[in-house]
């Protein structure tokens, strides 16, 4: 990288600031902002040299779209590792952590892979309409996408959902958990979490191992039941429903971030150097990832 060019942390900050401050809350209640966010992602990917595909559909009479770009695999192009994040926000929130941080990471991962060959096809997808009133239901962008992928027989070996990556704290007691888990994990919110259902536990193990082999950033993992609060609360759920293995990468959302789903979820609260370390670790993990 040119020493005069922005650092990874600065690039992440720029994406988050544009989405959360210049565009603001982006959802079907603010369709112009939702479309502006999609256009921003499209322009960033086009500038990186990717051909951007759009999957358009109607959600409560608002045109919505999932956007994707791909790096075709060298030896196993039919096998896909998909990295995704949603770009919409809950009503009333500018959504810096939820989920401009995930989109920022998605855009920087795709940038890092522009000139890097991979064995499998690496696909990056920005999903619409993850938040209520669509979460869990059919017009959720990732649900539309995953159903289509399954109908087309796509071989998605792993889906990775980037869901809130910007909140970190070294303060004791800054990390919460679902019932009983607090006895087994740190009470400081200074790590990244990787979470899966039981069916995806081997893929989770491989991703965590690849991350740890190339990054010293703290990571905690959990493979558990989908009914545990928060475990299924993002786009990976749509892929589990279609029988695809999927893992959520997250700062643990409301278990750590007091600004979750509120007007206080603003860019200056995020830790961009920590985010950059997570993104760098994911980049190297994706390059080295071995799947069962």
Residues 262-274 pLDDT 10s: 999 999 999 999 9
Q: Is the pLDDT of residue 137 over 50?
A: yes
Q: Is the pLDDT of residue 225 over 80?
A: yes
pLDDT reported for residue 5: 59
Q: Does 37 sit behind a cis peptide bond, omega within 30 degrees of 0 on the bond before it?
A: no
Domain boundaries, the chain: 8-288
Average pLDDT, the chain: 95
The tokens for 53 are 């595909």
How far apart (Å, rounded) are the C-alpha atoms in residues 4 and 229?
A: 44
What does the pLDDT average to over 92-110? 98
Residue with tokens 């928060």: 230
Residue 125 sits at φ, ψ, to 5 deg, of -135, 130
What does the pLDDT average to over 16-42? 98
Name which of 254, 237, 255 is nearest 246 in CA terms. 237
DSSP state of 30: B
DSSP state of 206: H
Residues 236-288 pLDDT 10s: 999 999 999 999 999 999 999 999 999 999 999 999 999 999 999 999 999 99
DSSP state of 51: P
The tokens for 230 are 């928060």
How far apart (Å, rounded) are the C-alpha atoms in residues 161 and 194?
A: 10
pLDDT reported for residue 106: 98
Q: Which CATH superfamily is domain 8-288 in?
A: Zn peptidases (3.40.630.10)
- Global pTM value: 0.96
How far apart (Å, rounded) are the C-alpha atoms in residues 55 and 65?
A: 5
């Amino acid at each position: 990288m040119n020493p005069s060019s922005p650092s990874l942390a600065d690039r992440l900050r720029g994406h988050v600031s544009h989405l959360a401050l210049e565009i603001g809350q982006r959802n079907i209640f603010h369709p112009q902002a939702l479309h502006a966010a999609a256009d921003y992602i499209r322009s960033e990917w086009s500038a990186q040299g990717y051909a951007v595909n759009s999957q358009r559909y109607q959600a409560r009479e608002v045109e919505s779209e999932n956007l994707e770009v791909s790096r075709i695999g060298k030896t196993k192009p039919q096998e896909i590792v998909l990295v995704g994040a949603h770009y919409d926000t809950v009503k009333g929130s500018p959504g810096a952590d939820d989920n401009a941080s995930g989109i920022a990471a998605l855009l920087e991962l795709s940038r890092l892979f522009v000139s890097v060959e991979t064995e499998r096809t690496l696909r990056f997808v920005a999903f619409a309409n993850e938040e209520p009133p669509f979460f869990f239901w059919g017009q959720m962008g990732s649900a539309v996408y995953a159903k289509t992928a399954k109908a087309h027989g796509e071989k998605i070996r792993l889906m990775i959902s980037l869901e809130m990556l910007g909140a970190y704290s070294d303060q004791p007691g800054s990390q919460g958990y679902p019932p009983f888990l607090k006895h087994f994990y740190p009470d400081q919110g200074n790590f990244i979490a990787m979470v899966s259902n039981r069916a995806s536990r081997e893929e989770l193990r491989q991703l965590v191992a690849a991350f740890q082999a190339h990054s010293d950033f703290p990571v905690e993992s959990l493979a558990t039941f989908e009914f545990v609060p928060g475990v299924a609360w993002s786009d990976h759920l749509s892929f589990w429903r279609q029988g695809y293995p999927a893992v959520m990468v997250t700062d643990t959302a409301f278990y750590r971030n007091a600004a979750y789903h509120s007007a206080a979820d603003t860019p200056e609260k995020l830790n961009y150097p920590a985010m950059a370390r997570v993104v760098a670790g994911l980049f190297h993990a994706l390059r080295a990832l071995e799947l069962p």
